Every structure is written in C-alpha cells, then in structure tokens.
C-alpha cells in the first residue's frame, strides 16, 4: 500500500478512521477536515504533500491549504523538507498526549481563565449592591446570586487547576501512561 495515498487511494481503514476522527474533532468544535487531514498524515508511513491530501480526501486545494495552516498553527502537523522535492510535505504529531495538552493549554485554559475573570467581576458588582442597597429584596437577590456565582467561581478555579495539572504532565512523556490506560504494550 505504500504509495497509494500519494496516488489518491486510501485504504478502507484509513477512510473509516479519518471519518471517525473528523466527527470527533467536529464534536470538540474544530472543523471536520482538520481531523480527517491529521488522521491521514498520522496513518501515513511517509510525509504527504497538499496535493496528495487533496486527492486522497477529495478536497479542494483551498480547503487543504487552509486546513494545513490551521493544523500547523495548533502544532499538530508540521512541514518537512524532502531532498529533491520542490513542494512542501507534511507529517503529523504522533505523540497524542502532547497534541491534546497543547490544545487544552491554548483553548480550554483560556476559556476557563475568562470565566474566572467574569465571575470575579460579577461578584464585585454584587458586593457593591449588597453594601449600598437599602432595598431588602435587592439585597436578598444579590446575596443569592453571590452565593451561586461563588460556587461557579470555585468550580472554574478547580477546572483551571485540573487543566494546569493535566497540561503540566505533558512536559514529561505521558505516552506510556496513555498506552497502559488503553491496554496496549509499549
């Protein structure tokens, strides 16, 4: 099968797995083609060109180019040089834990941080209402919201700490742990 991807023919397993990963990636808020392109590169024994990917996945040149740019920005594919070739070739990040932790650090961590800031700002506003309002119903409402937003803030802070712990483990090679958890032998 070596060389068939370069001529535009995927094995049925490559097509099936790339579609599954594409759906999973889409579920997580990314574009489906990002998962499909990454999977074909991940399963390929050799680096592939944009043209190889275009033929294999039956995508437009523009779609492949934009997808490769996005995947490169996320650090899950990289451009490689092949001696004697003028076109660019790409390969996938194969350390899954490193890839996942990078996304967690850049995307989920920023969302949790923004939520914490918003919750803290809301609590400051409610504190002002609680201190300055003479209306008992307004103060009761502010007290209720303060208590509930405090719970949301604590949950967000816990989520931030969990993400920090998760991302910090990516600094060491967690692949053996992932393989163990998946029941695979290294």
The residue extents of the domains of the chain are: 5-92, 96-181
- Read off the pLDDT of residues 22-56 as tens digits, 9 standing for 90 and up: 999 999 899 999 999 999 999 999 999 999 999 99
Confidence band (pLDDT; 50, 70, 90) for 163? confident
Indicate the CATH number of 5-92 among 1.10.10.10, 1.20.120.160, 1.10.1060.10, 1.10.730.10. 1.10.10.10
* CA distances from residue 38 to 57, 65, 79, 87, 171 in whole angstroms, order as listed: 11, 13, 13, 19, 22
The stretch 169-179 carries a mean pLDDT of: 61
The stretch 88-100 carries a mean pLDDT of: 89
β-bridge mates for residue 77, sequence order: 92
119, 149 in Cβ contact below 8 A?
A: yes
Cα gap 139→130, rounded to integer Å: 5
- Read off the pLDDT of residues 129-147 as tens digits, 9 standing for 90 and up: 999 999 999 999 999 999 9
What is the helix, strand, coil percentage profile of the chain, to 5? 70, 5, 25
> Could you tell me the pTM of the whole model?
0.72
């Amino acid at each position: 099968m070596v060389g068939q991807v370069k001529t535009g023919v995927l094995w049925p397993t490559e097509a099936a797995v790339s579609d599954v990963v594409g759906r999973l990636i889409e579920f997580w808020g990314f574009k489906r083609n990002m998962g499909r392109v990454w999977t074909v590169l991940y399963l390929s024994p050799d680096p592939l060109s944009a043209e190889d990917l275009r033929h294999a996945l039956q995508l437009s040149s523009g779609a492949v180019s934009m997808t490769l740019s996005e995947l490169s920005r996320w650090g899950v594919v990289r451009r490689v040089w092949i001696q004697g070739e003028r076109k660019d070739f790409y390969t996938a990040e194969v350390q899954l834990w490193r890839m996942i932790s990078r996304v967690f650090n850049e995307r989920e961590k920023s969302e949790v941080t923004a939520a914490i800031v918003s919750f803290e700002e809301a609590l400051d506003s409610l504190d002002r209402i609680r201190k300055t309002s003479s209306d008992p119903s307004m103060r009761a409402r502010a007290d209720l919201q303060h208590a509930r937003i405090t719970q949301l803030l604590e949950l967000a802070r816990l989520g931030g700490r969990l993400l920090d712990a998760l991302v910090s483990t990516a600094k060491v090679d967690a692949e053996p742990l992932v393989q163990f958890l998946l029941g695979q032998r290294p």
